[in-house]
Amino acid sequence: MNAEARYDLEERLLEYAARIVRLVEQLPDTRAGSHVAGQLLRSGTSPLPNHGEAQGAESRRDFIHKLRICHKELRESRRWLRLIQQVPLLETGRVQPLVDETDELIRIFAASLRTVQQPKRLNVER
User: Do residues 85 and 23 touch, judged by C-beta distance below 8 A?
Assistant: no
Half-sphere exposure of 116 (CA within 13 A, CB side): 17
Sequence spans of domains, the chain: 8-115
Taking the CA atoms of residue 69, residue 72, residue 73 and residue 79 in that order, the dihedral angle to the nearest 10 degrees is: 180
Can you tell me the mean pLDDT for 53-68? Answer: 96
Residue 3 pLDDT greater than 60, yes or no: no
The model carries a pTM of 0.89
| Residues in Cβ contact with 55 at an 8 Å cutoff, skipping those fewer than 6 apart | 10
In percent, the amount of the chain with pLDDT more than 90 equals 87
User: What are the DSSP calls for 62-92, one per residue?
Assistant: HHHHHHHHHHHHHHHHHHHHHHHHHTTSS-H
Distinct helix (H) and strand (E) counts, the chain:
6, 0
Q: What is the pLDDT of residue 5?
A: 43
Query: Which of 23, 1, 18, 12 is CA-nearest to residue 90?
Result: 23
Mean pLDDT of the chain: 92
Can you tell me the mean pLDDT for 44-69? Answer: 97
- The CATH classification number of 8-115 equals 1.20.1440.60
Residue 26 pLDDT greater than 60, yes or no: yes
